[in-house]
Structure 1
Amino acid sequence: MKVTDLPQQWEKEKQDVERPHEYNLRVPLEDAARIAALAELYPDRTESDILNDMVAAALDDLVSQGPLKERLKNTN
């Protein structure tokens, strides 16, 4: 999935996803404001949901193209 496809996904009904690993993430204030704005636009999604989806989409993009394609594909 591409990051640009996420708004369409966020408009659909939320699916529960198991997330067994936790990360601590610090973001610049401007990015935090953008994430908060997205969560307001899509009230069924928390800021954590938004971040999880964005990270997953970025990783999908890296796996599907670019110089890291083979290295990341083999970790699945």
Structure 2
Amino acid sequence: MKTEHLHDIWAGPDNTRLTTKQFSFRFPVHIAAKIAALCDMYPQKNRTQIVADLLTSALDDLEQSLPEAPGDQVEPEWNDRIAEQIDEPGETLFYLGGARGRFRGLSNKHYRELEAELGNAEPELLFDNVVGTKEQFSKK
């Protein structure tokens, strides 16, 4: 979610599922004032929705900026099949590693745990496995 789309999102309906747990945060005064201003501007959205959308936007931007590196090597029995699908025949492939790969893996882990609390035993992952060559991950 991009920050520039928040106005359009807040002007429409919300179908977000919430966690079973409540999180409590104390904000710096200047942040609380800005959130209150957004609540006044978009009275059809509650504070939880606004803060969640702001965090989503910031987390998406952060995830995109995290450094990538080659992670674990793709298992030999899968390497050739995957390499053909991504136009890298004969190349040794690796899973996404570095801070970005770690963030994605941990996000998937916590997402599965939170979904289990909501009764969803087998949710789709937030992030799919990304594979590439060492050179591809080194360029980013």
TM range (shorter): 0.7 to 0.9
Larger radius of gyration: 2
Report if aligned partners of 1:11, 1:42 keep a CA contact under 8 Å in 2.
yes
By how many angstroms is 1:21 displaced? 3.0
Other-structure match for 1:56: 56
Other-structure match for 1:29: 29
Identity of aligned residues (%): 32
One-letter amino acid matched to 1:21: K
Q: Deviations over 1:20-76 (max 9, x none)?
A: 232211111111111011011111111121111111222222223322322111122
**Mind listing any 5+ residue stretches in structure 1 that lack a counterpart?**
none
Aligned residues: 76
Relative to the length of structure 2, the TM-score reads 0.48
Root mean square deviation, CA, Å: 1.7
Relative to the length of structure 1, the TM-score reads 0.80
Superposed counterparts of 1:1-76, under 5 Å: 1-67=1-67, 68-75=99-106, 76=108
Structure 1 segments, 4+ long, off by >6 Å, are: none
Q: Which has the higher helix share?
A: 1
One-letter amino acid matched to 1:44: Q
**Mind listing any 5+ residue stretches in structure 2 that lack a counterpart?**
68-98, 109-140
